[in-house]
A and B are shown apart, each in its own frame.
Chain A
């Protein structure tokens, strides 16, 4: 069902432009192919192109890097390894105090799959990739750890010596008297949550163009970075230049970000270093495989949340134990994801006592960073799942438990136990309206009817407070009060806006907001048009940023839903300031008091005598043409820049209370889902979402934000996961494995609004873009839990996982039936066994197994087999399975020789497509007919590129290849030649590593 968008360009009345869904100024260009995204802009002649060679290992020492062949390739300008980058940069700052470094490229050790190992710069991208394939990196693998709780168990492999036990931070907080509340309350409920890794993955990937002026030692960078511009200081520091020698610009258009493009900054450093080393501009456009594997992701988190609860469902205290997984490096601004919600750990509820333990750990996964929802999904998944569990435990209706705990409408501004100042709201009213307008009763009747027919139908609820406009100081909550005192205060949310008037009186607005599709230019034209009594089309808005020329601050950028609340409001203040001066000028010209002046319909007019007026453009141009004729007190009206920061955003106090955000919207969602009994797919029957985001500036865009967030949240709930094997292999490296929802999976949510303006922002607006990323995943999980009657729900709701939960024991295989298929253990290891009968006595077969000539003849594509010792072989093979080919270096050793009865083979293979290692035991026994019965068992593991893009087909290939080997061997032994498949362990490994899954 489609819902009408209230879209109109209504008659020019006196009603303000703000609040109307006018058409966007951005659209005409974007709809006709005239957008200006980073890769659309031309580059200087001679610009070089970079590609990045990345680690196939989750954790390994780099023993050597041989890039000679790559450097010799025509067109290659340079190959930078870690030491080359280190020579011209310093480590990126790390978000906590610890003796740890964070480089944008691996120095002597890789810590996640996809970590940069070398940068190749060449005349074009294809050539750079040709060269990257020629680089030979020797690794010594280490054990990897991917689970946050696993990382802090004793004996776990340690990533950084400066983070003992992989713990980057461990802080405990206490607000009110939680121990007493727990002791006094009749009930205690607890929930353990594993929130998965995912990302909002914009469709445009990262892009950087960098150049270096050696004369001034200054960098110029164009990147589709989104802010916060606090990162500018991080980059400048890493490049070892003062801020004024790093000119950072953004392109006019950006293809979505959702937080993710904050994560481009380590690549800015890397590409800038490449520009410096080559002396030429260098351009890098990230490709999709790089993006999925190694750009950035949201944090995954292990949470134990307990609540002290009264008999009526009132929650008296919460006890949070959060273990935040930031991946392999703690990159700025992490551990911000964990602290962004610190003021909001009680959600929409009035809960006086809170205990918190926050641990930040590192694991062998891609480092984390900004992502839409930023900490909210992780917190609300625990909190709102717990609320449902409390209701079930106490035999109450989940909605009643929500209502019982909501903050009272009369309590605003309300200070939460952990320090947030909730600006405004009427949560009860919002819930009541949603229940009514969203027809909850009807949904419940539907559930009853469906259940009566034996169908799996459930309803879920969530209430969520959506924080926006981050306090730049919240992250310092990770420090102790004493550490904060030493470091000096950090707080606020400085927004900037500039309004300029040109000699013909037309208006230009500039803000440092860096939109990625949110229509900032349109909304600002509305806001400023209202102030000047003009039309939006009269206002021209520029939202690009150039740190060398524009007004900006560390808080600039597009994140934490700060645009409507902070930036648009600041633009209004700037316009008003100019308007105030224009009013004085006009007053003197019209001979009236300045207080009598209004701006309307393109004129500056006397309120009392509307005939007495002067064209806006005339007044506006005066500062240019005749500054001398301005009244003395008016000042110039050519350009005005306003800096605005809300006073409410104070630093954390000594009790660690932090007002982490300025505004707090409210969301109440409920939904009905039905689970297919055969496929266990979750179908969303109806999704209702009620928003109070304060004053709405542009309804069409607000709904657009809600729908977009809802869709990403639906993806997180049902499909998306950055999946890792236990050995750190990355398993979802293509868009055919990291599944984004498409038109056929996304229903239209029913959106309702209530407007309680924020008293803290100039326009009364609050942020709205992130709320559904916080509310929707858990709302769907609650509905599925209700449908299936289960307590534990893990995202994403993969049907096969639900099968494990809801289906009883599987029918056993028929007696004496099939041989069991190879079993894959938790990691990417694959084990199996089999048998074959071979002509020829065991002695003959034995000799073949140990003979390089035989091996060479049965391994397809084998270039050479070098016998290092009698039991150690090295081979160079070019291998393919079906259409997939690759070249590998393989190394095989034989152990535990028991001629002619048994031998163990152990080996590994590496190539551009990945690596493999395996161990196999082969036993030979006479079959009684002059032949040999050959039994084998094996244990193999593969990783690298091929695991992340071909996972689906890997396991099956093993069987195929092993089967093929024995067929070939049997043929050879029987004198039948070795046509067709071939074998050896390295053939196996190489072939394994050469597979590619078909889901493109």
Chain B
């Protein structure tokens, strides 16, 4: 289990990264925290010709409030964001979900943006991005663009990012006084979610976002629902997500969790 051969580029500026990506395109990979990419390389599931290490670029390390949003750069590790003093106040949902990402030893290296780029359907950060309706900031030598969360995830481990684009950062809206709730079921502590749910009270009602079930984290908005109307809505949502069986859980079990946890969380945020 040793990685295939590749060139290694230690980028010192965003320009270095964009040049590398422009030259090598699909044969280049950004190396961020390495917590997903390196395991894939060790297993020889990926064969890039070039790895571009972005972790020495200072300008990507920012966590900043910009108006009603928080911008998180590609160099921000999960542990850095957890340690950001304003996290619970500005991004309470992220504060709840982030400790569920892997373990202390992987959060210390893994980045927020790496998790989004990797787009595992069970990952917590993509779920948070979708639940909050954030944006992904993409940049290539050609252009800069912002992609809304719901348009960013294209499928299992597939995103709207083009081969020559760097995820420079993300922008998450600060929802004032938002009531949020998060719950996750995994086989063991620190595993990828079988089902993860995030709920948020919205102006018109409530939003429930679910990870681990469909190919991409999926959010749904409802007016304030109660009783059997809520049950029906949750049931329909659970089926729409198209759950599947795998070694760790059945489709039915996943739907059960969406129905039950969804109901609990909605109750919590609407209280």
A960, B155: Cβ atoms under 8 Å?
yes
B47, A886: Cβ atoms under 8 Å?
yes
CA distance A955 to B246 in the complex (A): 8
List residues of chain B with CB within 8 A of the CB of A1000.
35-36, 39-40
List residues of chain B with CB within 8 A of the CB of A912.
44
Is B235 an interface position by the 8 A CB rule?
yes
B118, A739: Cβ atoms under 8 Å?
no
Is A364 an interface position by the 8 A CB rule?
no
List residues of chain A with CB within 8 A of the CB of B243.
821
CA distance A563 to B232 in the complex (A): 62
B118, A883: Cβ atoms under 8 Å?
yes
Which B residues between 98 and 114 are near A, CB-CB below 8 angstroms? Answer: none
Is A999 an interface position by the 8 A CB rule?
yes
Is B242 an interface position by the 8 A CB rule?
yes
> Per DSSP, are chain A's interface residues mostly helix, strand or loop, or mixed?
loop
B192, A804: Cβ atoms under 8 Å?
no
B256, A813: Cβ atoms under 8 Å?
no
Contact check: which of B44, B189, B259 meets A745 at CB < 8 Å? B189
B248, A798: Cβ atoms under 8 Å?
yes
Is B142 an interface position by the 8 A CB rule?
no
Q: Which of A123-131, A249-257, A429-437, A615-623 contacts B (4 or more CB under 8 A)?
A: A123-131
Q: How far is the CB of A938 from chain B (nearest CB, A)?
A: 15
B250, A804: Cβ atoms under 8 Å?
yes
List residues of chain B with CB within 8 A of the CB of A723.
247
Most chain A CB neighbours (cut-off 10 Å) among B1, B248, B249: B248
Contact check: which of A801, A913, A957 meets B156 at CB < 8 Å? A957
Is B240 an interface position by the 8 A CB rule?
yes
Q: How far is the CB of B257 from chain A (nearest CB, A)?
A: 7
Contact check: which of A732, A800, A886 meets B250 at CB < 8 Å? A800
Using A800-B250, A951-B246 as known contacts, say yes or no to A736 and B191 having CB atoms under 8 A apart: yes
A956, B44: Cβ atoms under 8 Å?
no
Q: How far is the CB of B192 from chain A (nearest CB, A)?
A: 5
Most chain A CB neighbours (cut-off 10 Å) among B2, B35, B44, B156: B156
Using A800-B249, A814-B232, A814-B235 as known contacts, say yes or no to A821 and B47 having CB atoms under 8 A apart: no
Residue of A whose beta carbon sits closest to that of B123 = A998
The range of chain B's interface size is 35 or more
B45, A886: Cβ atoms under 8 Å?
yes
List residues of chain A with CB within 8 A of the CB of B264.
678
Interface residues as binary, A67-81 with B (CB distance below 8 Å gives 1, 0 otherwise)? 000000000000000
Contact check: which of B37, B185, B190, B235 meets A811 at CB < 8 Å? B235
Is A959 an interface position by the 8 A CB rule?
yes
B242, A821: Cβ atoms under 8 Å?
yes
List residues of chain B with CB within 8 A of the CB of A803.
250, 252-253, 256
Q: How far is the CB of B240 from chain A (nearest CB, A)?
A: 5
Using A130-B4, A957-B156 as known contacts, say yes or no to A999 and B192 having CB atoms under 8 A apart: yes
List residues of chain A with CB within 8 A of the CB of B257.
678-679
Contact check: which of B37, B236, B248 meets A883 at CB < 8 Å? B37
Using A288-B1, A884-B46 as known contacts, say yes or no to A952 and B37 having CB atoms under 8 A apart: no
CA distance A998 to B190 in the complex (A): 13
CA distance A822 to B245 in the complex (A): 10
List residues of chain B with CB within 8 A of the CB of A817.
236, 239-240
Most chain A CB neighbours (cut-off 10 Å) among B2, B35, B257: B2
CA distance A288 to B188 in the complex (A): 20
List residues of chain A with CB within 8 A of the CB of B208.
none
List residues of chain A with CB within 8 A of the CB of B44.
129, 133, 912-913
CA distance A817 to B26 in the complex (A): 39
CA distance A673 to B200 in the complex (A): 34
Is B122 an interface position by the 8 A CB rule?
yes
Using A732-B247, A818-B239 as known contacts, say yes or no to A744 and B188 having CB atoms under 8 A apart: yes
Is A147 an interface position by the 8 A CB rule?
no
A953, B121: Cβ atoms under 8 Å?
yes
A719, B187: Cβ atoms under 8 Å?
yes
Is B205 an interface position by the 8 A CB rule?
no
Interface residues as binary, A773-807 with B (CB distance below 8 Å gives 1, 0 otherwise)? 00000000000000000000000001111011001
B191, A818: Cβ atoms under 8 Å?
no
A884, B157: Cβ atoms under 8 Å?
yes
List residues of chain B with CB within 8 A of the CB of A929.
none
List residues of chain B with CB within 8 A of the CB of A813.
235-236, 239
Is B74 an interface position by the 8 A CB rule?
no
B247, A824: Cβ atoms under 8 Å?
no
CA distance A29 to B121 in the complex (A): 44
B45, A821: Cβ atoms under 8 Å?
no
CA distance A386 to B248 in the complex (A): 28
Contact check: which of B2, B26, B48 meets A125 at CB < 8 Å? B2
Is B24 an interface position by the 8 A CB rule?
no
A955, B189: Cβ atoms under 8 Å?
no
Residue of A whose beta carbon sits closest to that of B102 = A1000
Using A913-B45, A996-B43, A998-B123 as known contacts, say yes or no to A719 and B239 having CB atoms under 8 A apart: no
Residue of A whose beta carbon sits closest to that of B2 = A126
Residue of B whose beta carbon sits closest to that of A732 = B247
Interface residues as binary, A702-726 with B (CB distance below 8 Å gives 1, 0 otherwise)? 0000000000000000010001000
Contact check: which of B35, B37, B190, B250 meets A742 at CB < 8 Å? B190
Is A995 an interface position by the 8 A CB rule?
yes
A956, B156: Cβ atoms under 8 Å?
yes
A821, B244: Cβ atoms under 8 Å?
yes
CA distance A233 to B259 in the complex (A): 60
Q: How far is the CB of B6 from chain A (nearest CB, A)?
A: 11
Contact check: which of B1, B39, B192 meets A287 at CB < 8 Å? B1
B188, A739: Cβ atoms under 8 Å?
yes
Contact check: which of A126, A681, A955 meets B3 at CB < 8 Å? A126
Which B residues between 132 and 158 are near A, CB-CB below 8 angstroms? Answer: 155-158
CA distance A457 to B14 in the complex (A): 57
A745, B236: Cβ atoms under 8 Å?
no
List residues of chain A with CB within 8 A of the CB of B215.
956, 959-960
Is A885 an interface position by the 8 A CB rule?
yes
Is A882 an interface position by the 8 A CB rule?
yes
Q: How far is the CB of B181 from chain A (nearest CB, A)?
A: 14
Contact check: which of A129, A732, A945, A946 meets B2 at CB < 8 Å? A129
Interface residues as binary, A874-917 with B (CB distance below 8 Å gives 1, 0 otherwise)? 00000011111111000000000000000000000000110000
Q: How far is the CB of A318 from chain B (nearest CB, A)?
A: 34
List residues of chain A with CB within 8 A of the CB of B187.
719, 739
Residue of A whose beta carbon sits closest to that of B27 = A885
List residues of chain A with CB within 8 A of the CB of B120.
953, 998
CA distance A912 to B146 in the complex (A): 37
Is B251 an interface position by the 8 A CB rule?
yes
List residues of chain B with CB within 8 A of the CB of A200.
none
A807, B244: Cβ atoms under 8 Å?
no
A745, B188: Cβ atoms under 8 Å?
yes
B236, A885: Cβ atoms under 8 Å?
no
Most chain B CB neighbours (cut-off 10 Å) among A811, A822, A884, A949: A811
A960, B158: Cβ atoms under 8 Å?
yes
CA distance A737 to B1 in the complex (A): 17
Is A289 an interface position by the 8 A CB rule?
yes
A821, B247: Cβ atoms under 8 Å?
no
List residues of chain B with CB within 8 A of the CB of A956.
121, 155-156, 215, 244
Residue of B whose beta carbon sits closest to that of A961 = B155
List residues of chain B with CB within 8 A of the CB of A732.
247
CA distance A951 to B259 in the complex (A): 25
B240, A881: Cβ atoms under 8 Å?
no
List residues of chain A with CB within 8 A of the CB of B185.
679, 681
Which B residues between 224 and 271 are near A, CB-CB below 8 angstroms? Answer: 231-232, 235-236, 239-240, 242-253, 255-257, 259-261, 264
Residues of B participating in the A interface, judged by any CB pair closer than 8 Å: 1-5, 26, 29, 35-37, 39-40, 43-48, 118-123, 155-159, 185, 187-192, 194, 215, 231-232, 235-236, 239-240, 242-253, 255-257, 259-261, 264
Query: Please, could you name 24 A-B residue pairs with CB atoms under 8 Å apart, sorted by A?
Result: A744-B189, A745-B189, A799-B253, A800-B248, A800-B252, A803-B256, A811-B235, A817-B236, A821-B242, A821-B243, A880-B26, A881-B156, A881-B157, A884-B157, A886-B47, A887-B47, A951-B247, A960-B155, A998-B36, A998-B118, A998-B120, A998-B192, A999-B192, A1000-B36
Which 4 A-B pairs give the minimum distances between C-beta atoms?
A882-B157, A998-B120, A800-B253, A744-B189
